[in-house]
Amino acid sequence: MHDHNSPQHASVTHSHEHDGHTHVHTHADGTTHSHSHATASSPEEALALLTYMLNHNRHHAEELHDLAHCFDEVSGDLVHEAVDKLEESNALLEQALSLLKNQ
């Protein structure tokens, strides 16, 4: 599960509970969201989870792109570069999904 209660998330602190595989992230504005690490019990569930994670990554890339415009040129350029790398990773995930769906 992943909820965003604020359109901007700056200055993130992380709390990780690895036994339960839940990660809670608290943002400077007090909003939180958590990540649950589920394991797939079937190939269909794994495909659904990979699809969800790709869409989740795309959402984060969009948020980071918007945040980049809040920073000075050097920092903003670095964030944009990171977004480019996220998009490259997402393209690889998309290729994997395409192969898996056609099997």
Q: What is the pLDDT of residues 46-67, one digit of tens each?
A: 999 999 999 999 999 999 999 9
Question: Residues 9, 20: one domain?
Answer: yes
What average pLDDT does this structure show over 71-82?
98
Question: Residues 45, 72: one domain?
Answer: yes
Question: Residues 62, 92: one domain?
Answer: yes
Query: Which single residue is written with the structure tokens 């699809």?
Result: 51
Query: How many domains is the chain built from?
Result: 2
Question: Residues 65, 93: one domain?
Answer: yes
Question: Residues 52, 82: one domain?
Answer: yes
For residues 85 and 67, is the Cβ–Cβ distance under 8 A?
no
Confidence (pTM): 0.62
Question: Residues 3, 30: one domain?
Answer: yes
Q: What is the distance between the alpha carbons of residues 88 and 96, in angstroms, rounded to a whole number?
A: 13
Greater model confidence, 92 or 27: 92
Residue 101 belongs to what H/E stretch? Answer: helix 73-101
The three-state secondary structure class of 35 is: strand
- Print the domain residue range for 14: 1-37
